[in-house]
């Protein structure tokens, strides 16, 4: 499974990225082959379970550094044409660079081997570009309940209908986003890269603090 994002900017510049869902790397890599800010202990997230003795680099940073560097000189307010291709279908949207970058980086982060983000791999596999907040609430809660179902079938684990585990996942993601933002501050001279992570941080925070309210807003669909 793969995702292709093509950004066509009004000045004629084209940025194209093909990201495979499954990406494998050695745990130890040559530091000189990658930017300094991708090293694991560079602003390492406090909730990161990876050890610098076993891993040399941050998985999310390795997966996203080429994308972020490509956008280093592109302002978030720039209008771009975005074409997204998956094995099943294609999407198109004309929007600001930040919206497209957020969708692409969201997929890259959720499909990475970062242990903190592993719970998002199911959503990443069925990636929906440019999802609205309501669509995100629907997808993330449905995905969480499906994981609960499989855990219940396998181990008899009680199903968490109060979404307590999901709220904790949001908190862990907030921590990751905040510290990953510190990483890309060292790599970005324009504002797109910073804005996209700040927006992801905001979404995680909103869902963590007011998940019930957002669920209430889509409740009418199930009456």
- What does the pLDDT read at residue 4? 96
Q: What is the pTM of this model?
A: 0.85
By percentage, how much of the chain surpasses pLDDT 70? Answer: 87
Average pLDDT value for residue range 115-133? 91
* Weakest-pLDDT range from 5-19, 33-47, 60-74, 208-222: 60-74
Query: Using a CB cutoff of 8 Å and minimum separation of 24, what contacts does 187-190 make?
Result: 187/35, 187/37, 187/65, 187/68, 187/69, 187/72, 188/68, 188/71, 188/72, 189/72, 189/73, 190/71, 190/72, 190/73, 190/74, 190/75, 190/76
DSSP conformation class of 221: G
Higher pLDDT, 78 or 120: 120
Higher pLDDT, 190 or 140: 140
10 Å Cβ neighbour count for 49? 8
Model confidence band, residue 174 (pLDDT cutoffs 50, 70, 90): confident
Distance, CA of 21 to CA of 112 (rounded, Å): 8
- What does the pLDDT read at residue 190? 44
């Amino acid at each position: 499974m793969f995702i292709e994002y093509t950004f066509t900017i009004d000045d004629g510049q084209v940025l194209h990225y093909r990201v495979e869902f499954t990406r494998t790397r050695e745990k130890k890599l040559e530091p000189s082959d990658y930017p300094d800010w991708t090293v694991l202990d560079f602003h390492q997230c406090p909730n990161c379970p990876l050890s610098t003795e076993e891993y040399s680099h941050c998985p999310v940073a390795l997966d996203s550094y080429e994308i972020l560097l490509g956008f280093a000189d592109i302002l978030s307010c720039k209008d771009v044409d975005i074409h997204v291709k998956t094995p099943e279908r294609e999407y198109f949207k004309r929007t600001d660079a930040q919206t497209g970058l957020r969708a692409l980086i969201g997929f890259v982060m959720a499909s990475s081997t970062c242990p903190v983000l592993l719970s998002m791999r199911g959503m990443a596999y069925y990636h929906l570009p440019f999802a609205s907040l309501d669509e995100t609430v629907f997808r993330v809660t449905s995905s969480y309940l499906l994981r609960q179902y499989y855990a219940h079938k396998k181990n008899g684990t009680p199903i968490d209908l109060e979404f307590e585990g999901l709220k904790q996942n949001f908190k862990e993601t907030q921590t990751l986003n905040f510290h990953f933002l510190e990483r890309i501050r060292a790599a970005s001279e324009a504002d797109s890269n910073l804005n996209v992570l700040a927006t992801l941080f905001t979404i995680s925070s909103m869902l963590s603090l007011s998940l019930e309210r957002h669920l209430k807003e889509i409740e009418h669909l199930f009456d």
